[in-house]
Structure 1
Amino acid sequence: MMRVLPSLTVTPAMLLSTTVAVEDPSPVWAAATAWLKDDLCHRVETHLVYRRITAGTTATAPELDADNWKAIRPTNKWAMFDHLRSTQTTVSGGPLTVVVQPGQRADSLGLLNLVGSRALIQVHQGDTLITEREQSLIQHSAQNWYEYFTGDPEQRPSLVLWDLPPFRDAKITVTIEPASGVASCGRLSVGMGVQVGEVEWEPENDALNFSRIEREFDGTLTPDVTLIARRSVPKANLRVRIDAGNVPRMLKLREQLNAVPALWAGWTRYPNSPYAEAFLLYGIYRRFPIRPSNKLYAAADLEIEEM
């Protein structure tokens, strides 16, 4: 079963508490500071870290001074709420705990690019604990007994829950216990999940590779060639069988998610399947055609690209 989570934007008012002690390790921007080229600073007002383009002192805040500053990443405190799972919120020496109150119904929660030993999810209504989920984040992917006894445990990279109690005033507490002293989360998504349909066999997982290699006209490598490693962006192509009665909802969803990132999960019926992680993407759809197959079902060919 494929589901999608159109995520709420977590605002400072929704983030009730966090164990991230400071906004970011970089210094806070100050107008009187004499900055060197490539110095970093952050602004609490924008939750962004900036790099200095030219040395000097300027009284204009970085977000308004594109000639001297460039935004390069979110602050550590807010990295888990931006659109890139590769930017992590990290706590050293203790658990990463955040308490979020969406202020509206939310029955689904997604945690991506995790580092930790255990995840604990709690939902409170007032002071009353409504539900609690605990999940180990350490897993074994051994293919045989030899690998089981000799291989190292692996980090479980993600955790998604689709059945949280959807109270409007719920407070959701997420705790990531550290592994080797570090706890991290690359993306927290929360909101109301939407059921899309059943994924048919032979979906495709691929990646857009932006790395570069230079060759001569005959295909040989250029002298002293340097392979420039750049980001590889995951993507997926899936054919989904949609109930006919669900088609009007999918048309609205397609319009709602036009250029809007969401958490797409193709293997929610079997979350522990070895295929599940390959079809869990936080990104946008590139194609979403819907074709009626018969009176009962329609087929949708989804192309999803990670942010």
Structure 2
Amino acid sequence: MMLIRPFVVTDTALLSCNIPETDYTAFNLATTYGLGDRVRVIGANVHRVYESLQAGNVGHDPAASPTWWLEVGPTNRWKLFDSSVTSQATNPDSIDVTLHPTGRIDSLALLNLAAQSVRVIMTDAVDGVVYDKTFSLVSDSGVHDWYAYFYEPIDRRSDLVIYDMPPYHAPTIQVIVSDPGFTVAVGAMVLGFKKIIGGTQYGVRVGIQDYSVKKRDDFGNYTVLERAFNKNATFTLFVDANFVDQLHALLASYRATPIVYAGTDIYSSTVIYGFYKDFSITIAYPTESICTLEIEGLT
């Protein structure tokens, strides 16, 4: 089991991004907005979209007027870094982002992807380019014979976690997500520093919690309103006895912070960006202890 402790992306850290921040017109205090009109508000580390709740809406600051404005969410560009996996940043052909984190970075998670390939370039101020790899998102999951190889539709991975970046401090990292001729989408981009906390044991349970509404009438017909879902999992880990106290303190420190939990690199379904719902550590043996983690992902 590995954790990716995330770096918080700010205006200063985001050096460039090819997604234009022109979702809606910029808010103007002197403009009269109608019911349902949307505006964007951009400031220092503020990149939000608001929707007018009333007609004749003039002179009301969206951030300070909840009876006049509804906060819809981040702008398209900043959906990459919000606390949601379902909300996707989109752009034709590619999403090209360059970041300059201030801490040590050796891992990258891209979640809820719709693309053909991902290229990651890490550059150090002294050593130059220290990492440059391109990853195909074509998935071989479910291809177990020649018939499936030739005739099943081509699937693509929706999650990509990269663990092998060299642990440089404050590097410049360029991430290029590509699919020429199509719209590229990314639900979450998480840079961070990994931490191995134990060995994941067989018996992992993975699933989802669906928030869609399904109503059946008197004749058995269904009306479905599709909504978001989140991933969840329960892990059992063997933990070195010397690491028990540190693990207890580490998990306590992230009780209200979403991080990436990766059970194993064999199954992408064990990669969850979210919170632990519960954890317990059983000091079972002289050299090893048993940790149980129940993880609930972000929608």
TM-score of the superposition, structure 2-length normalised?
0.92
CA apart distance, 1:55: 1.4
What code does the residue aligned with 2:227 have? R
Distance 1:221 1:99 in 2: 55
> Which residue is 2:205 aligned to?
204
Per-residue displacement from partner, 1:27-73 (whole Å, max 9, x unpaired)?
22122222221122111122111111111232232111101111112
CA apart distance, 1:231: 2.7
What code does the residue aligned with 1:28 have? A
> Which residue is 1:246 aligned to?
243
Distance 1:181 1:213 in 2: 32
DSSP-derived class of the 1:78 partner: helix
CA apart distance, 1:305: 0.3
Contact 2:36 2:51 in 1 (8 A): yes
CA apart distance, 1:107: 1.3
Distance 2:270 2:185 in 1: 22
Moved more, 169-178 or 221-230: 221-230
Distance 2:22 2:253 in 1: 33
> Which residue is 2:10 aligned to?
11
Per-residue displacement from partner, 1:50-102 (whole Å, max 9, x unpaired)?
1111112322321111011111121111101011111112111x321111111
Contact 2:7 2:103 in 1 (8 A): no
Distance 2:212 2:103 in 1: 42
Contact 1:24 1:77 in 2 (8 A): no
Verify: 1:36 aligned to 2:34, yes or no: yes
TM-score of the superposition, structure 1-length normalised?
0.90
Figure out how many residues of one structure are paired with residues of the other and give that number: 294
Contact 1:28 1:42 in 2 (8 A): yes
Structure number having the greater strand percentage:
2
Moved more, 291-300 or 140-149: 140-149
The answer for unaligned runs of 5 or more in structure 2 is: none
Verify: 1:129 aligned to 2:117, yes or no: no
Distance 1:233 1:82, change over 3 A: same
CA apart distance, 1:252: 1.8
What code does the residue aligned with 1:27 have? T
> Which residue is 2:107 aligned to?
108
The answer for unaligned runs of 5 or more in structure 1 is: none
Per-residue displacement from partner, 1:198-234 (whole Å, max 9, x unpaired)?
111111112223334457xxxx848876344333222
> Which residue is 2:145 aligned to?
144
What code does the residue aligned with 1:264 have? Y
Contact 1:62 1:69 in 2 (8 A): yes
CA apart distance, 1:247: 1.2
CA apart distance, 1:253: 1.1
Verify: 1:294 aligned to 2:285, yes or no: yes
DSSP-derived class of the 2:6 partner: coil
> Which residue is 2:75 aligned to?
75
> Which residue is 1:88 aligned to?
88
> Which residue is 2:195 aligned to?
194
Distance 2:224 2:113 in 1: 29
What percentage of residue pairs aligned between the two structures are identical? 26
Distance 1:237 1:58 in 2: 50
Contact 2:27 2:41 in 1 (8 A): yes
**Superposition RMSD on alpha carbons, in Å?**
1.9
Contact 1:205 1:234 in 2 (8 A): yes
> Which residue is 1:119 aligned to?
118
